[in-house]
Structure 1
Amino acid sequence: MQKILVVDDEAGIRNSLRAILEDEGYEVETVASGEECLKIAEKSNFACILLDVWLPGIDGLETLKLLRDQGSDAVVIMISGHGTIETAVMATKLGAFDFIEKPLSIEKTVLTVRNAIRTRELELRNAELAEALNQEYVMIGNSVAMRALRKQIAIVAPTDGRVLIQGESGTGKELVARAIHNQSRRKEKAFIEVNSAAIPEELVESELFGYVKGAFSGATQTKKGKFELADGGTLFLDEIGDMSPRVQAKVLRVLEESRFEPLGSNTLVKVDVRIISATNKNLDELMESGSFRHDLFYRLNVIPFQIPPLRERIEDIPLLVDHFNRKFSLAYGKKPKEFTESAIQAMQEYSWPGNVRELKNTVERIVIMKTKQKITADDLPEFESDGFLSSSSRFPSFKEAMDAFQRRFIEQKIAEADGNISKAAELMGIDRSHLYRRIKALGINLDKIKF
């Protein structure tokens, strides 16, 4: 039941409003002064406050200001027996939803309260959705690479400079684009995404620039393109390496002139759009082969971003696993899994050719399919054998890289020999005593080797 607070120094008004609003199904409390209002609002959460302008002690406008200062999110409706336009304007500036005059109309009062509460609910819901969206696109990781990336985003975001994001598939290029938009002056405007690789060649132009009714067979009504929808905001051109030369030429013209003609129209549409583009292809090679325009590249590549692959920031894997574990456990109504040290180590030893997207899918599969609570290396899905130890960047020194290789090599040979150390030494072409010394030096636990 929604709670309403009535603040008025006239007992008759308080009692009348209580009776009317309780009949409408609201829970109502009443006080006679601004001081009492502030005191009760600190202890109770009200959906709506009906606040008289003229009160003994601090008046209604000052009470409204103090309510906001103390963090109340109740929607406030001001009441006055002899209000002025100046008072109404001041109340609105302080955050009042509406202003009603005495003598109060029952019908108007109830309608205003309903609209006020409905508006508050929509605002709270929008805030929840915005928070959920922010969580969906949160950037996880404390590695040097991620800290540098966040710093670069913070510097670039407040500007209107065009950004070109390059990186392997699954590294999070869209995540970076959204982070730039969300920290920019355009964050209240639209973020429009276009995936050039996902749109059939014959439809790319109509998607980007829109069309007028009758422009082609099937164009039964006028439709705005992505450039126009992003006006005032950000347009994210993903997979630009897949754009045809014809579309590249039209995009270049828009970047040069900030205007375009929808298909079938002779009228120019002017737009103010920030362009962020991304690709997982080597644009230098595409330019050399003539598949990508040099002039378009220079227009897009004002501020270059290079997103590191996951194998080059393996110290972030525990944080990413924890994030996805919690996310999918909540989504599927399950208790979060406990990933053991062996599981994390196995994940860090894998090169993740699909990058963060592959890791995310792996954790989701484990959350769904594994019934046991504690997840060890044995519970992980089989990784591609050539995906292990593929990156030298994960080891700070040559010795550590060699130790890691020897450790896995020895473990594999012992497994092939079914745990027989003498046979494993023979397979490796070394003395049994030497193998024992390496096992001890490398800290290999024979009990954990599967054979």
Structure 2
Amino acid sequence: MMNDLDYNFYRVLFEDLDPARLMKRFLELLLKIQNVERGSIWIREKDHFVCVESLGGPSQIDIIKGASIHADEKSIVGWVMENGRMTIAEGGKDPRHFKAFEKHMQLKSALILAFPLILRDGQVYGVVQIVDTSAGGSRLNLDDHYLRILKSIVDMGAIAINNALQHTDQIARNRKLEQTLREIRNRIQIIGQSASFLEAMKKVRDYARTDFPVLITGESGTGKDLVAMALHNLSSRKDKPFVVQNCSAIPETLLESELFGYKKGAFTGASDDKTGLLMAATGGTVFLDEIGDMSRLLQSRLLRVIQNKEIKPLGESNTHKIDIRIISATNKNLNEAVKEKTFREDLYYRLNVLPLHLPPLRERKNDIPLLLKYFIKRESLELGHFQKRISDEALSCLVDYRWPGNIRELENFVKYILSTVDGDMVGVTDLPDNYKHPAHRQLPGGESLPFADGAPSGQPADPAGRPDFPFTGLTWEALDKAYVRHLLEKNNWVVTRAARDAGMNRSTFDSRMKKLGIRK
């Protein structure tokens, strides 16, 4: 019988790297050798033994496959795992027999033959059980010579199964890595080849290997949030939470509740316990955007979190240990903020362990064609349109344009041309005026005011050397509207911050917006 199975045995072991198929065919072979119908394969997973394959009729498969036995419970599987030796047990009588699974089976185990699945280094990672349900266990061949041959077969099968499991695991890891890279390239939209960009990306790769705080600086629209996500996805914390909070988007008291959480009854309206974002992110990464707008009070609380690695929700007396990595970002000069006493110096040094500056798009001219091509392709696929091309002349204008809104402006520009240009080619005539003439500035609010060295295009400077007034022909209301829109755009439409920059309170600024008919 053994000789007749030699060919099938080697074919089973070496022709298939799919673990599920290999284990099923391997178990079928062992049961055929022993002339029995019930068997199972178990694998160690942390503190449990899990049945990954089972044969012996529908009831056996339904009950046992996928089931688990805790390592602390007595079982034949556990005994073989611990001792690393073959064993023979009498079903229902041996104290090691875990009988719970057989309660609903018509045929009970009479005799159980169990072998360890052992690696070359002697590590036991699983168990294969061969079960005889015949009266007295009369079918199992327990001859010493026969068992030694059977053990050799199991040992080779153990290595083959482990190889298949590792192969599958490697494929899964490769797919996960490819998915991460796709996310970084596509969804996270980090694209470029300029020297300043590559230098920043090298820091991203280096910083991702550590757990130290990172402070990302750069103008609005340079992709600070995307870089923060890349830092998380490339780190050892990638499978843990990535929590984002904009520190300027909500009032101070609400921001405190969001970050630190609170206990029921901590204040009026606290009807239930709330877990703060800092605690919810434990094991992962917290990204604090616009950190420069955080109040001094919250700066002090955040400093204590970083120093002590613990958090105390509002209204609670106990502290909780947390394990988080903090990445923060700002478009402000925090050095100046420290000098002006609006930002704590000690917190600044705690956050700025790994500084990362993102260059503005005007310093990445070589990347502009790449980014245009990427966004055109992405948005065209989204819309189901053919991809448009940009003429050399138009591309020259776009490369020379200063892109004050950086990548965010470029992305929105692509959406504009895809919506307004009818043909397949985008020419200079298709560009808005301020893009046609890069040296000209666009007045915030939509009006284009061309400039050339201080003088409007087409108008000579004053002979005495005084530049002509560039706002000739505009009403005071138009200028007021443009200024208010400028403040809103500058502050990402956070009205509180725009009002502060204007030197007025929020309600007055709201009234001004309403009067001018400005809405996002």
Contact kept, 8 Å, 1:353 with 1:387, in 2: the verdict is: no
Per the TM alignment, residue 384 of structure 1 is displaced from its structure 2 partner at its CA by 6.8
Per the TM alignment, residue 238 of structure 1 is displaced from its structure 2 partner at its CA by 0.7
- C-alpha distance 383-203 of structure 1, shift in aligned 2 (>3 A): same
SS at 1:165's partner residue?
strand
| Cα offsets for 1:42-67 (capped at 9, x unmatched) | 9xxx998882333559x9xxxxxxxx
CA distance in 2 between counterparts of 1:299 and 1:273 reads: 14
2:34 matches 1:81? no
Partner of 2:428: 377
CA distance in 1 between counterparts of 2:57 and 2:413 reads: 62
5 Å-filtered alignment, 1:155-174, equals 155-174=206-225
CA distance in 1 between counterparts of 2:426 and 2:203 reads: 36
- C-alpha distance 352-217 of structure 1, shift in aligned 2 (>3 A): same
Amino acid at match of 2:411: K
2:439 matches 1:388? yes
| Cα offsets for 1:40-98 (capped at 9, x unmatched) | 989xxx998882333559x9xxxxxxxxxxxxxxxxxxx98333xxx4117x79xx995
Contact kept, 8 Å, 2:24 with 2:53, in 1: the verdict is: no
- C-alpha distance 101-303 of structure 1, shift in aligned 2 (>3 A): closer
Contact kept, 8 Å, 2:434 with 2:440, in 1: the verdict is: no
Per the TM alignment, residue 222 of structure 1 is displaced from its structure 2 partner at its CA by 1.3
Q: Is the helix fraction higher in 1 or 2?
A: 1
- C-alpha distance 356-110 of structure 1, shift in aligned 2 (>3 A): farther
CA distance in 2 between counterparts of 1:38 and 1:328 reads: 47
Per the TM alignment, residue 151 of structure 1 is displaced from its structure 2 partner at its CA by 1.2
- C-alpha distance 109-265 of structure 1, shift in aligned 2 (>3 A): same
SS at 1:89's partner residue?
strand
Contact kept, 8 Å, 2:216 with 2:328, in 1: the verdict is: yes
CA distance in 1 between counterparts of 2:226 and 2:191 reads: 10
Partner of 1:362: 413
CA distance in 1 between counterparts of 2:338 and 2:437 reads: 31
Partner of 1:293: 344
Partner of 2:136: none
- C-alpha distance 132-198 of structure 1, shift in aligned 2 (>3 A): farther
5 Å-filtered alignment, 1:192-271, equals 192-271=243-322
CA distance in 1 between counterparts of 2:216 and 2:59 reads: 59
Percent identity for Structure 1 against Structure 2: 38
SS at 1:275's partner residue?
strand
2:362 matches 1:311? yes
- C-alpha distance 292-386 of structure 1, shift in aligned 2 (>3 A): farther
1:51 is aligned, of 24, 32, 40, to: 24
Contact kept, 8 Å, 2:52 with 2:65, in 1: the verdict is: no
- C-alpha distance 143-132 of structure 1, shift in aligned 2 (>3 A): closer
SS at 1:318's partner residue?
helix
Per the TM alignment, residue 169 of structure 1 is displaced from its structure 2 partner at its CA by 0.4
2:110 matches 1:153? no
Per the TM alignment, residue 322 of structure 1 is displaced from its structure 2 partner at its CA by 0.8
CA distance in 2 between counterparts of 1:384 and 1:274 reads: 41
5 Å-filtered alignment, 1:89-104, equals 89=43, 99-104=52-57
CA distance in 1 between counterparts of 2:399 and 2:268 reads: 54
TM-score (norm 2): 0.56
Aligned-pair RMSD on alpha carbons? 3.9
Partner of 2:397: 346
Which runs of 5 or more structure 2 residues have no equivalent in the other structure? 67-171, 442-451, 464-520
Per the TM alignment, residue 217 of structure 1 is displaced from its structure 2 partner at its CA by 2.1
| Cα offsets for 1:145-204 (capped at 9, x unmatched) | 111111111222111111111110001111221122122121121111110011222201
Amino acid at match of 1:338: R
2:194 matches 1:143? yes
Contact kept, 8 Å, 1:351 with 1:389, in 2: the verdict is: no
Per the TM alignment, residue 271 of structure 1 is displaced from its structure 2 partner at its CA by 0.5
- C-alpha distance 111-218 of structure 1, shift in aligned 2 (>3 A): farther
Per the TM alignment, residue 371 of structure 1 is displaced from its structure 2 partner at its CA by 2.4
5 Å-filtered alignment, 1:394-413, equals none
CA distance in 2 between counterparts of 1:266 and 1:210 reads: 13
- C-alpha distance 80-376 of structure 1, shift in aligned 2 (>3 A): farther
CA distance in 1 between counterparts of 2:20 and 2:370 reads: 38
SS at 1:53's partner residue?
helix
Contact kept, 8 Å, 2:54 with 2:65, in 1: the verdict is: no
Contact kept, 8 Å, 1:54 with 1:80, in 2: the verdict is: no
Which runs of 5 or more structure 1 residues have no equivalent in the other structure? 1-8, 11-31, 60-78, 114-122, 391-404, 417-423, 428-451
- C-alpha distance 56-98 of structure 1, shift in aligned 2 (>3 A): closer
Aligned length: 331
CA distance in 2 between counterparts of 1:35 and 1:301 reads: 60
- C-alpha distance 49-354 of structure 1, shift in aligned 2 (>3 A): farther
Partner of 1:439: none
TM-score (norm 1): 0.64
